[in-house]
Amino acid sequence: MIASVLTPKLQSRFPGRGLRVGSPPAPCAVFPAMHPEVGGVEIYDDGSELTVVAGKFTHGHFSNYDDSLSDNQKDEEIAEAVVAFLDKLFADQIILWGSHQGGGGWYNAGNEESDFSRNKKKYLWSGPLS
């Protein structure tokens, strides 16, 4: 399972963020919300990919389909991609928008927003954007 590769990386990279570790079908990792309007992060190990639920807004799938890599190499790359995403999220470099009820997404701060996110309330990990 990818969680066995991911968990030690999360523990060493994000000490003090309140990481809770679980096992499927529950999230394999949960980070509590920094701001109640944003919500926390839940990570699910789906076997061949990780699903990251980003706050109250959206989720993303982290996978690797490179058939030249071993399963262990794929797991390592997937785990590293999730850690890189969380680094940016926790540093307020990711803008979240939308909701699970009506769809949502994220994009890198500094990038142009999409037509889908226009006129939607936007958030950083630390809280709402004004």
User: How many domains, in total, are found in the chain?
Assistant: 1
pTM across the whole model: 0.93
- Smallest CA-to-CA distance from 62 within 76, 52, 73 is with 52
- Tens digits of per-residue pLDDT, 20-50? 999 888 999 999 999 999 999 999 999 999 9
How confident is the model over 76-103, as a mean pLDDT?
Answer: 91
Predicted pLDDT of residue 91: 97
Note the maximum CA span of the chain.
46
Predicted pLDDT of residue 100: 58
Q: How far is CA 92 from CA 1, 3, 61, in A?
A: 29, 25, 20
Range of the domain at 55: 3-128
Instruction: Say which residue the tokens 């529950």 belong to.
Output: 26
